Amino acid sequence: MNPRLVLLSGLVAALLVSSVSLVYVQHVRRGLFMEFKGLEAQRDRMQVEWGQLQLEASTWAAQDRIEQLAVDKLGFRVPSPASVVVVKP
């Protein structure tokens, strides 16, 4: 068999393997890129939700709201100055 033919056949086989590998890698890359974009969108949605939850938490924990609930639901009242006892260490 002609050595040039063997070399040419080897080069053609290497070219085919390289081409198929390139197509496969591009396919995997596109899939990973789409997954990445989906995860970025999910992250953005979660950041918005986190901001909303922080705002809600600060609203629920507002001092005026807590004081109003203590007065309305629990019957708390501010003690008179005469009934306050200061304990010294």
Domain ranges of the chain: 3-74
Q: What integer pLDDT is reported at residue 26 of this predicted model?
A: 98
Among positive and negative, which fits the CA dihedral 26, 32, 45, 43? negative
Q: What is the pLDDT along the chain (89 residues), one digit of tens a residue?
A: 789 999 999 999 999 999 999 999 999 999 999 999 999 999 999 999 999 999 999 888 888 888 888 999 999 988 888 889 999 98
What tokens were used for 8? 């040419």
CA–centroid distance for 16 within its chain: 42
What is this structure's pTM?
A: 0.58
Q: What is the largest CA-CA distance in the chain?
A: 115
Q: What is the CA radius of gyration of the chain?
A: 36
Gap between the Cα atoms of 65 and 79, Å rounded: 19
* Neighbouring residues of 71: CB distance < 8 A, sequence distance ≥ 6: 77
